[in-house]
Amino acid sequence: SEHAHTRYNPLKGEWVLVSPHRTKRPWCGQVEDGPDEGIPEFDPKNPLCPGVMRHIGQVNPNYKSTFTFTNDYPALLEDVPSPPPSSDPLFQMESAQGTCRVMCFHPKSNITLPLMTVSEIRDIIDKWIEELTELGKKYIWVQIFENKGAIMGCSNPHPHCQIWASGFFPNEPRIKEHYQLEYYKKFKRPLLMDYVSKELEKKERIVTENVDWVVVVPYWAVWPYETMLLPKTHLKRFSDLKSKQRDSLASIIKVQIEFGSNSISILPVIVRKGGWSGAPTGPKLYEDVSHWVFHGVYYPPLLRSATIKKFMVGYEMLAQCQRDLTQEQAAEKLRNVPDIHYKQENE
């Protein structure tokens, strides 16, 4: 808790430098603007709002719950030509086929996940699983992710996420595939299920839990207030969830993000990035993927307050990732914040 040390991430084969003594240093760096509280419930110029015409000329339906559409400016396209083969090991190229979708969580722009009801979050979970099941029939990887907040690069305040499906296996899940499989071959058990068991036993980094799920600050967390949401029973994909597990997931998502929204010296944190990982799909749908464990990750990009951002720069880009406060200190801070959203607490 006081001295610099490194920790190993068995999920990715990487190390993180932990430097807890650096929390004592004064801050003279960049300070971001505070959270924007002036978001209207409806903005006729916002292309994600119900009934608004998007830039390509399509009009959104007057949706009452979730609404999904193909991204008007996608990073991936379904029909792209294949590049010519290359025999040069230094210059390799492959086609990148896929599709990108936008999913609106709620018709109101000034509503965020922790302010939604558990029932509304359950509707979102059902839609996530529906999209994953559909796209997973064709694509090897379906990435559901959310960027929230202007300092995270989010270009629209309306509550939404993105779903990118690709015909190629992206770097992050490909690395997780490798290390989970190696662990499974060696110990005959899923890596993350062993990890869950040990975290439940140690109780040092648990933020919150319920009957089906546990939220921890991972032992190897890179971002100061990074959390991981894990199942207590072995689930390989999002689509494995039964109805009761979906209900309990909705409940813990609400609590987890409320902790994040109220945390870090009790300042409102409404920026985050996160998403879901599970066994690959498409051509791997019928393969044995017992080594995979479905999980979610949240990465609030904050260093010590709601307006001081954690940057991954110099040492992180050239050597390895570094963090200041320990993972246990972060978990304790998150555990001790109110479980009622700061906006509701002030009403």
Catalytic residues: 160
d(CA 213, CA 249) in angstroms, rounded, equals 7
Q: 158 is written with which tokens?
A: 């309306």
81 CB-contact burial (10 Å; exposed 0-12 / middle 13-18 / buried 19+): exposed
233 and 212 in contact (C-beta within 8 Å)? yes
Angle between helices 327-335 and 243-262 (to 10 degrees): 100
Q: Which residues are bridge partners to 102 per DSSP?
A: 69, 162
d(CA 2, CA 336) in angstroms, rounded, equals 21
- Return the SS3 of 296: strand
d(CA 135, CA 166) in angstroms, rounded, equals 9
d(CA 116, CA 193) in angstroms, rounded, equals 30
**Category of 280 on φ-ψ map: left (φ > 0), alpha (ψ -120 to 50) or beta:** beta
237 and 294 in contact (C-beta within 8 Å)? yes
260 and 270 in contact (C-beta within 8 Å)? no
Chain mean position to CA 216: 14
Pick from 219, 200, 231, 198: nearest CA to 329: 219
Angle between helices 191-202 and 171-187 (to 10 degrees): 80
Pick from 78, 98, 100, 76: nearest CA to 163: 100
Residue type, 94: E
